[in-house]
Structure 1
Amino acid sequence: MKDLNTTLKKIEIPQYKTYSGVVQDMELSYQLFGKKLHSAPIVVVNHALTGNSNVAGQEGWWASLIGDGKCIDTNKYTVLAFNIPGNGYDGFVVDNYKDFVAGDIARIFLQGLKELNIDRIYALIGGSLGGGIAWEMAALNPLLTEHLIPVAADWKSTDWLIANCQIQEQFLVNSRQPVHDARMHAMLCYRTPQSFKARFQRSTNEELQVFNVESWLTHHGKKLNERFQLSAYKLANQLLKTIDITREGEDAFINLQNSKTNIHI
């Protein structure tokens, strides 16, 4: 990628006040990919629950989508990705995770854009939790982006999602292997019973003497446990179940609906 500047940068946001009324200093980190900032249209990418700001390049978790000549072309755009404060990628930790809702992260991201002198972007894209935060950002500022692209994300947490997050919370608080066990459960939410049947067909791992679906779940639990902090998982789970652009009433929904934002679902 040309003009690539992937160094982790930080913005200090002192005395941020959460929706719950808690005041604390926040640290917001981000990375830039592609064209130099303010020299090209800006695409903001919000990462998912276990992701981070490293969205492109050799180790980028969305490298199949973002890069030279790819769907989000770094020869044409500046790509900006924030870290959700407390995701652990930059060393910043949030222990009081219950004090935050998804709207807080949206406001912090908007403050970050303001600090970078960005008042309008070409596109805002995010997957899962990142998509929910994108919904919240667009609802808070309907003039922010020309295109809003939430992937596998709704503008509110559904009862089904809240229920699954409650089960995740129980794993994260009570299990002897909290991240490992919570991830195993979470993997069940990403596939339908039909897809499990098509993929595994009750096959077994003869060496381990377990069903392949069991070894698959164990593998993903171990993999995430090796790279993801418990505090980050607790925070992300809390944010996931609190997505709601109508938190303060219907006006935000109506204003976004009536705006010129092109919403691609």
Structure 2
Amino acid sequence: MENKQQSIIINNFTTENGAFYATLNLSFQVFGPALHSAPIVLVNHALTGNSQIIGENGWWNDLIGLNKTIDTAKYSVLAFNVPGNGFDGFIIENYQDFKARDIARIFLEGIRFLKIKQLYAILGGSIGGGIAWEMSALEPKITRHLIPIATDWKSTDWMIANCFLQEQILNNSSKPIEDARIHAMLCYRTPESFTAKFERTTNNELAVFNVESWLLHHGQKLQKRFQLSSYKMMNQLLKTIDITRNKETFEIIASKIEADIHIIGIDSDLFFTADQNKLTYQELKGIKNNVSYQELVSIHGHDAFLIEYQQLHNLLKDIF
């Protein structure tokens, strides 16, 4: 059922910025039936995620697995590691060489290498969904279903601003990963989520507010499992999602995508706002019939796609 990490070597890759890489390591895992023995679902991970979707340390165990929404008895589930995310020990120091579209190109090369003609679905949350958009824009026939969750086809000015602050922290702080994570948690959640969780309570032992000790805990936890270069790389990708960069308009590019597009927003998302998602849906509706917009209703903000499993199940069950 659960494969060990495997690797593909991508040769002679030139990024959009013109940076040349003689070799790039693209690692991946497959869950469920072997490739080509069942419909294939590609899952793209979020910022600090990796290819370990299910199993021990799996980050989407509630959604994917035997008898789950995406049933690994029926579907082969494929997940690539973004090169440089560090999960396979592969690091990229020159993170500014890459944009989200470069990762989409690398994933598509991986799909060609694995001799996959068409995917049943590509789904991803946050940056993973942005890469899914980029993949579909580059290869309009690559998937039957495109499911971008808590994301959009572009990084907005607000997103770019937050990523800029993240980069400043990562480059200038004496505890870069911890401090950047603390700031990021404020964007992943909402004021209402914090109120419900902490109610201004204090940790008497540490003589701090519980919200402070929780933020410190998240910072320390990430510091133990994530490398600085990986964080810089993933943050750079989040900043550079844009399927229209140096290309045609959104309408022209999106009209070529053959997949059914199922946009899932979050009503309280401070990062990829529901308003932006609805705007994307309205634009798509003018040019495509096979498009839908649905929303997770949650006080938890951007992170709701990792929290509200039952709602996500209800929104996805008809597709799977």
- Offset, 1:40: 0.6
* Cα offsets for 1:117-152 (capped at 9, x unmatched): 012000001111111100100111110111111111
Say which of 124, 127, 130 aligns to 2:128: 130
**Matched residue type, 1:43:** V
Question: Are 2:136 and 1:153 equivalent residues in the alignment?
Answer: no
**Matched residue type, 1:254:** I
Q: Distance in 2 between matches of 1:76 and 1:262?
A: 20
Q: Distance in 1 between matches of 2:65 and 2:213?
A: 34
Question: Are 2:79 and 1:81 equivalent residues in the alignment?
Answer: yes
Aligned residue number for residue 36 of structure 1: 34
Q: Unmatched 5+ residue regions in structure 1?
A: none
Cα separation, partners in 2 of 1:253 and 1:110, compared to 1, 3 Å:
farther
> Contact conserved, 2:16 with 2:99, CA < 8 A, in 1?
yes
> Contact conserved, 2:136 with 2:257, CA < 8 A, in 1?
no
Where do residues 58-73 of structure 1 align in structure 2 (5 Å cutoff)? 58-73=56-71
- Offset, 1:103: 0.3
Aligned residue number for residue 17 of structure 2: 20
Cα separation, partners in 2 of 1:54 and 1:178, compared to 1, 3 Å:
same
Say which of 236, 241, 244 aligns to 1:243: 241
Question: Are 2:179 and 1:181 equivalent residues in the alignment?
Answer: yes
Q: Distance in 1 between matches of 2:14 and 2:185?
A: 34
> Contact conserved, 1:94 with 1:235, CA < 8 A, in 2?
yes
Q: Distance in 1 between matches of 2:110 and 2:132?
A: 14
Percent identity of the aligned residues? 62
- Offset, 1:252: 6.3
**Matched residue type, 1:8:** Q
**Matched residue type, 1:246:** T
- Offset, 1:248: 2.2
> Contact conserved, 2:244 with 2:253, CA < 8 A, in 1?
no
> Contact conserved, 1:139 with 1:253, CA < 8 A, in 2?
no
Q: Secondary structure at the match of 1:146?
A: strand
**Matched residue type, 2:15:** T
> Contact conserved, 1:156 with 1:243, CA < 8 A, in 2?
yes
- Offset, 1:255: 3.5
* Cα offsets for 1:43-77 (capped at 9, x unmatched): 00001110100111233111111100101100000
**Matched residue type, 1:230:** L
Q: Secondary structure at the match of 1:7?
A: coil
Cα separation, partners in 2 of 1:222 and 1:253, compared to 1, 3 Å:
farther
**Matched residue type, 2:87:** Y
* Cα offsets for 1:86-116 (capped at 9, x unmatched): 1111111100100100000000000000000
- Offset, 1:260: 3.0
Question: Are 2:134 and 1:165 equivalent residues in the alignment?
Answer: no
Q: TM-score, normalised by structure 1?
A: 0.96
Aligned residue number for residue 196 of structure 1: 194
Q: Distance in 2 between matches of 1:17 and 1:6?
A: 30
Q: Secondary structure at the match of 1:150?
A: strand
Q: Distance in 2 between matches of 1:200 and 1:100?
A: 39
Say which of 41, 47, 55 aligns to 2:53: 55
